[in-house]
Structure 1
Amino acid sequence: MRSKKNIRPYIILIAFLLLGWSHAIAQTLNKPIPADNPNIAGNSPWTAVCASSDFNEYFVKFTWNTPLVNSNNSFILELSDANGSFTTPTQLASDNTKNTTFNFDFRFELPNTARGDGYKLRVVSTSPAKTSPASDAFSMYYIDFKSSLLISPNGNGNIPSGGTIELCDGNSATLAVHNVTNPQTYRYNWYRSGTPLAEKSHTITITQAGIYMVEVDYGSLCSGSANTLSNDIEITTGASLGIALNTPSKTALCSGETETLEANIMGQGLSYTWFKNGTAVTGPTVDAHTYAVDASIPGFEGEYAVEIDGDGTCLERSSGVTITNAGDFTVTRNNDPNIVLLPSQTKTLSVTTSASSPVYQWYKDGVILAGQISNTLNVNQPGGYFARVSQSGGACAATAIDSEITTVVIPASFEITIAYTAEYEDCKNNSIVLGVATINALDTQGVKTDVTSELIGNFTYQWKKDGIGVNGATASSISLTDISENGIYELDAVVETYSPTSNTLSVLLLVNETLAITASSLVSCNDAEFITISTTTDLSSTTFDWIKDGVDLNSLTETLNVSETGKYQLVVYRNGCPLPSNEITISPLDDSLITLDSPNTVVFPTGGSKTVTASGGTAYQWVDINNVLLSDSASVTFTEEGSYLLIANIENCEITKQITVVLQDIFKVPNVITVNGDGINDQWIIPNTYSRNKDINVLIYNAKGEVILNVFDYQNNWPESTIAFKKQNMVFYYKIKTSKEVLKQGTITIIR
């Protein structure tokens, strides 16, 4: 291996690539495919991902084709959502060390929120920006719950005695999971007497007899490994007792009233469960045949029903009774919750209501304001104000609803706070906007009231940098876009007799400049030859550092000559801020990058020819044994036997490969060999059409059908001298095949 000294046209192409012209030739990113786990012996590629806290390590194989990506590239493995959509992909892994490796594995862990059968994977490159095709769809589940489920009526935790519920004809029962936190976040498989049901929720409403069980749905391939199958509950049917609710005295209640609902069956030792809008509001309680609806409790309105159960009694729920709010109306405050009164100011508070015949009464600090009985109130004093609204007639004339309280303050002073209006970090941002974040009114005790929305437009402003007013900066915000504007900022504000000054903020912007470095080569041929890394930026009057693998090289030269592999970067300091360049990765030379589409031994028939194509390089020369150039392209056509040499370049580095060209043997595959040690026909020699080819598989079986030889790239070396044949005329069977078809098959007789 040696460096090329002569400059060939392909060097110009490489230079363009290094200068960012790599988009002229497109890389091909192939879709990722499942790979085996190298940390598990005897493992094979996965077909589904069933991850958990006990095991969560998976691999996919990714391949891509030349040309090389840029040195600052990263390959990113992304996961779709459960439907295969990449609208908001999840990043699983990232690798910036494989920019000259065309076949490698990504290791990833499945997020603990993944549950579904349609997940896909893809790989994205960042420089140039390209996206691979999506993988096939796979089942992927993170199994975070893997205990037996428990089910009970309405999920109340009371599993019925004997696991049996007798359900009245025409009624229904609800079973629900009760031992899972946030059960609604999972999908479930329900079964009736072993038959899968369509319901996927953590609850199921039952009307048919049968034995019911449930498990967490982790997909067809992962569910079995979780062992979540629940207890079973048997539903039987029986005759109804005719449970119903007695007609209540009233169904429309005013605030503060109560109404007792009563079941029509009582005194039989039954268990009663009361429901509101289909949800249990009590547990099953013996002889609890009444339930009090309290209209003083917000949200009391709804449909109420009762369910009975007991020994010898089928589970039965009554029809519902709807209880409404007779005094239901709203009161809305129309002004801000916090109002500031400046000296000599008066402001108006107001409310609106949906009451049909409203009566208004205003209060200050909980004390009635005599004569203030309209929906508006003018205020010029501090305090807490609200309006009490009541109906002047109807069933709930006594019902009253208070508006929200409005706090009115006359400030002793103001406090103004400024902040960065976007995410900001010194020496990271090229620009930033500073603005008013909050304005607080302070009373004499220092109690703060946020009045930002009300007064931000009432103040006049003056921004200051390093204590000096900024010309023209008189708005509530200021935009900074240049390093000349770096400094300490504060804001003076004025409204009437108040003149608060804000807190201070430091601004240290990074220069809006792109720093780029290039290398004379991205591949290190050997330690004796240097690669030059340089920049077009003038470094003569600035401070800078050359960095390798994150470590300062303490070099003061404006260009850097290197022979070691690694990741290089230049950092220039502008106005106290570091300005980093792009990163360049120098990789070691890898002979395996040069590949041939044919074995190193090339076979072709007499009178014919064979074309061989190389890939992975940037220039090629094919020469014969006399060093005569046959081709300087990626391909060459052979017409004569002999030894040939491929000289391939990867940038400035040279790799050689020896190639042997032979004419195709025309003899047949032998079916008899004589292993008597005379050196003649002692081994099974097959035509070179089939031998010494890494793509052809040779198998030999004994009389029992057992495989005794299974190799690719067969070297015409069976049987080995150490093999002893105990019988005369032993018969073996052979098969010569590729991955797609059988080329030859037959018998081999051994004569000793």
Structure 2
Amino acid sequence: MKTKINQGLCVLALLFIGLATGSAQTLNKPTPADNPNLSGNSEWQNACASSNFNEYFVNFTWNPPLVASNNEFILELSDASGNFSSPVELARIADKNQVFDFDIEFQLPEDTQGEGYRLRVKSTNPEKVSEVSDSFAMYYIGYNSPILISKDGNGTIPPGGVIDLCDGESLTLATHNVSNANQYNYSWYRSGTALSGNSNSINITEPGIYYVEMNYGACSGSANTLSNSIEVNINAAQGVAINTPTKTVLCSEDTVTLTANVQNQGYTYTWYKDNQIIQAGTLEGYSFTVDAANAGFEGDYQVEIEGSGICVEKSDAVTISSAGSFTVALDNTNGIALLPGSTETITVTTDAASATYQWYKNGTAIAGETNASYTITTIGDYYATVTETGGACTSVTKTTETVTAAYPAAMSIAIDYMTTYAPCENTNIELEVSSITATDANGNTTDVTESLKADFTYQWKKDGAAITGATSSLLSILNAEENGTYTLEANLESFNLVSNELSVVLNANDPITITADGTQICDGVIVTLSTDYDLNNVDFEWYKDGGKIAATTTSLTVTEAGNYQLKVLTNGCPTLSNEIVVNAFDESIVQLDKESSIVIPEGETTTVNATGADSYVWFNEANENLSTSSSVTLTEEGTYLLIATIGNCSVSKTVTLAFRDNFDIPNVVTANGDGVNDLWIIPNTYSRKANTRVIIYNENGEEIVNQLDYQNNWPNSTTGFTKKNQLFYYKIVEATKTLRQGTITVIR
């Protein structure tokens, strides 16, 4: 017990000395300490942690005066280069505020990897930082198993652990069984020689035997991570190509043999046409025969070789084409609606060098019809043959598609919007004939839009009434005044067609603007919304925060904060107005640059500035107007009133000015209840200040008062005293700055 009393006296003496002299605490750098849970001397030099062991200690010392009772000591770790720009908290100690030498236990975070870590200790009250420690190698050995490597980390180890490359090619080897691989450092080797780089992958351009292990620096001896080995061979390219063939343009009876320039009994050959395999890998299959008798023989041919000690190579392409390769096409394949007494001409096109023609009807040649065009006068199925009579090959013939000409038993017409259309979004639109369909007696339909659209006569109608001058296959609707339902009548000989109906609802795009006589709502003040848009004889709705409100008046009285809009239905389309935001009045908008209680020396002046309002009026206690600007200069004691106005709303603020007390801070209080000097009264320079803190300690160094805006009310009636004459210590602090400190003797 005597030792504890002496320690308490020492602590009190140190605190008093620190208060009297104004000295500050000194935090010494942390140093490695012995682990009390391990036998022998376990003071660490490098920290090599793992899931099996992660318990370390540092010793920390500091010098008085005492820190605050709510202080905490924080042990922090730098990054791997010793930088504390983003320190990691390792431990927080709150029960050593009267102990000047103690050990702190900590664990390494799992991402710790490096040689230059440092430690430091911070205190929270007062805020101080120790000198940083020496540098230490620290590693958390999170991975401690053999590593597996493969090409691109794909997880497939090559057969025999060997990969062949061609000269000039490169290869990436990477780990494939290490989770969170990027958080570790690695050491790569080629045939026993260390390589540069520390990532989990490496780019290879040289032959050798490659392997990797984790680089745990000074802790590497604690891990077993050596990987499998992969041998990389660099092989020379063979320069494979296809020998120049005897011909590359074939007639139907021709063949040609393609041969690789590299021929070796041990090599495998794969042949391609248009990048598709046509002959799978074949040992010594260095030739391939192209037969023009096979349909689709034309194309680009390549050969690929592979084998022991060589690169896998593919040759450039050799193009084989047909001598009789030409195209034929009809200018109309959609079907022909042949009206009685009418004719239709169809034409075949071709790129044959020297062509002859023959037309057919229903599979039978039409005598004498050997031109590129033919005029149809009767119904039937028509096609043409085209024969190439010149060039390397003779009498190659191709047949066109078949086109059907039929008398229509019925016809129909359809109209559609020319461009994308959505009701109430478009401001204009065009309508057009989209299709004309002919149906024969058997119910077969043919699209005859292109062949007959120009032959019909047209009349557009709106809501059943003919539109004057609208007699083409296209109709432009330019504004919302033309909204309605549209149809088209079309006539050709005996066919009188009526189209489908199309509804058109265009947006009038009339802007609607609402205005407000204010944007702030406060006691007794409302906001009125209105518009210049004529709302008579139209449907409209008021909205608040996106929801319709029950208001039917052309102007709106607003009593709640929110976002307001007006929706008007014009020409069948809803149109939204601009949005007006109405806010509840916030008195905190108005700010003063001084506190509400101001103390100045007698004879001096002070200026108070206000911000945030539209207008200002300052009054003294006699209700006299001192200023109508945002600032006022005060010279006399008293209470002053500011009326600040924002829109239709106002806010009041008061400022009290007092002259500074001239008496000093007392160091004796006679708390005997006689009404004289019973309380510790300090000058108004320090009392009743929102940013000034008063702290009082008892003789044991215990904090008994910690108060902002001290009200000159200590000691109160419940304060207990253990002695007739008792000593206390005080500090007066503003932020982190100590303004005054000393002792108080309470006499009872």
**Structure 2-normalised TM-score?**
0.54
CA distance in structure 2 between the partners assigned to 1:163 and 1:612 by the alignment:
85
Counterpart of 1:501?
Answer: 498
1:620 aligns with 2:625: no
Tell me, what secondary structure is at the counterpart of 1:304?
A: strand
Work out whether 1:524 is the aligned partner of 2:528.
no
- How far off its partner does 1:645 sit? 3.5
User: Where in structure 2 are the equivalents of 1:215-614 lying within 5 Å?
Assistant: 234=230, 236-238=232-234, 240=236, 242=238, 244=240, 247=243, 250=246, 252=248, 254=250, 264=262, 268=266, 287=283, 289=285, 301-302=299-300, 304-309=302-307, 313-314=308-309, 316-318=311-313, 320-327=315-322, 331=327, 333=329, 335-338=331-334, 340=336, 342-343=338-339, 344-353=342-351, 355-358=352-355, 375-380=372-377, 381=379, 383=381, 385=383, 388=386, 390=388, 392-394=390-392, 411-427=408-424, 429-481=426-478, 485-509=482-506, 513-526=510-523, 529-539=525-535, 541-549=537-545, 553-573=549-569, 578=574, 580-596=576-592, 607=604, 609-610=606-607, 612-614=609-611
Question: For 1:423-464, what per-residue CA distance to the aligned partner results, in whole angstroms no more than 9, with x for missing partners?
Answer: 444455554433323333444444444444554444321111
Over aligned residue pairs, what C-alpha RMSD do you find? Answer: 6.1
Contact 1:255–1:327 at 8 Å: present in 2 too?
Answer: yes
Offset at 1:393? 2.5
C-alpha distance after superposition, 1:470-518 (max 9, x if no partner): 2222122333355554432100122344332110122345556444443
Could you tell me how far 1:418 is from its partner in structure 2?
A: 1.6
Alpha-carbon contact 2:337-2:446 (below 8 Å) kept: no
Given that 1:382 and 1:410 are in contact with CA atoms closer than 8 Å, whether structure 2 keeps it comes out as no
C-alpha separation in 1, matches of 2:156 and 2:372:
57
| Aligned partner of residue 503 in structure 1, secondary structure | coil
Q: Counterparts of 1:283 and 1:730 in 2: how far apart (Å)?
A: 101
Q: d(CA) in 2 for partners of 1:674 and 1:159?
A: 87
Question: In 1, Cα distance between the equivalents of 2:633 and 2:321?
Answer: 97
State whether residues 457 and 492 of structure 2, in contact with CA within 8 Å, keep that contact through their aligned partners in structure 1.
yes
Change (3 A) 1:404 1:601: farther
Give the structure with higher Rg (CA): 2
1:322–1:577 distance in 2 versus 1, CA, 3 Å: closer
CA distance in 2, matches of 1:673, 1:253: 118
In structure 2, how many angstroms separate the alpha carbons of the residues matched to 1:614 and 1:331?
Answer: 85
Q: What are the ranges of 5 or more consecutive residues in structure 1 without an aligned counterpart? A: 1-148, 180-190, 198-203, 214-230, 703-707, 738-743
Between the aligned partners of 2:661 and 2:160, the Cα distance in structure 1 is: 79
Q: Helix, strand or coil: the match of 1:592?
A: helix
Shift of the 591–735 alpha-carbon distance from structure 1 to 2, 3 Å rule, reads: closer
Q: State the 1:466 CA deviation.
A: 2.6
1:91-127 Cα deviation digits (max 9, x unpaired): xxxxxxxxxxxxxxxxxxxxxxxxxxxxxxxxxxxxx
Q: Output the CA distance in 2 between the equivalents of 1:265 and 1:667.
A: 114
Corresponding residue SS for 2:588: helix
What letter corresponds to residue 533 of structure 1 in structure 2?
L
Gap runs ≥5 in structure 2: 1-147, 177-186, 190-194, 212-226, 672-676, 698-702, 721-726
Structure 1 residues 467 and 391, CA, compared in 2 at 3 Å: closer, same or farther?
same
Q: Which amino acid aligns with 1:479?
A: S
TM-score (norm 1): 0.54
What's the % identity of the aligned pairs? 28
Task: Flag the 1:392–1:561 CA change in 2: closer, same or farther, 3 A.
Answer: same
Deviations 1:629-648 (A, max 9, x none): 34434455556665443333
- Supply the distance in 2 between the matched residues of 1:518 and 1:647 (Cα, whole angstroms): 28
Tell me which amino acid in the other structure corresponds to 2:306.
I
Quote the Cα distance in structure 2 between the aligned partners of 1:449 and 1:289: 54
- Paired residue secondary structure (2:496): coil
Report whether the alignment pairs 1:167 with 2:161: no
Question: 2: distance between equivalents of 1:196 and 1:388?
Answer: 69
2: CA distance, partners of 1:232 / 1:362: 75
The whole-number CA distance in structure 2 between the counterparts of 1:613 and 1:502 is 75
Aligned residues: 538
Contact 1:544/1:572 (CA < 8 Å) preserved in 2? Answer: yes
* Cα deviation, residue 316, structure 1: 0.5
Alpha carbons of structure 1 residues 459 and 529: separation in structure 2 relative to 1, 3 Å: same
Q: 1:656, CA displacement in angstroms?
A: 2.8
The one-character-per-residue Cα deviations of 1:359-409 (angstroms, maximum 9, x if unpaired) are 656666777667655544444455464654647332x65766666766666
**Cα distance, 1:564–1:170 mapped onto 2, change above 3 Å:** closer
Structure 2 CA distance for aligned equivalents of residues 679 and 651 of structure 1: 51
Distance 1:151 1:413, change over 3 A: farther
CA–CA distance in structure 1, aligned partners of residues 495 and 545 of structure 2: 57
Q: Is the 8 A contact 2:489 2:499 kept in 1?
A: yes
Q: Identify if the C-alpha distance between structure 1 residues 359 and 478 changes in structure 2 by more than 3 Å, giving closer, same or farther.
A: closer
Residue 645 of structure 2 corresponds to which residue in structure 1?
649
Q: Structure 1 residues 400, 473: CA separation in 2 closer, same or farther (over 3 Å shift)?
A: same
SS at match of 1:647: strand
- Cα displacement (A) at 1:614: 0.7
Once residues 257 and 669 of structure 2 are traced to their aligned partners in structure 1, the CA distance between those partners, rounded to angstroms, is: 107
Q: Secondary structure at the match of 1:474?
A: coil
Q: Deviations over 1:240-276 (max 9, x none)?
A: 59584674755725487675656856664x7766677
Instruction: Tell me how far apart the structure 1 counterparts of residues 435 and 555 of structure 2 sit (CA, whole Å).
Output: 51
Indicate conservation of the 8 Å contact 1:675/1:683, yes or no: no
Q: Deviations over 1:273-301 (max 9, x none)?
A: 66778x78599968484685867686964
Q: Secondary structure at the match of 1:338?
A: coil
Q: Check the 8 A contact 1:685/1:717 in 2, yes or no.
A: no
Partner SS for 1:471: coil
Assess if the C-alpha contact under 8 Å between 2:242 and 2:258 holds in 1: no
Equivalent-residue separation in structure 1 for 2:173 and 2:440 (angstroms):
55
Partner of 2:121 in structure 1?
none
Relative to structure 1, is the Cα distance of residues 429 and 246 closer, same or farther in structure 2, using a 3 angstrom cutoff? closer
Cα separation, 2, equivalents of 1:590 and 1:236: 75
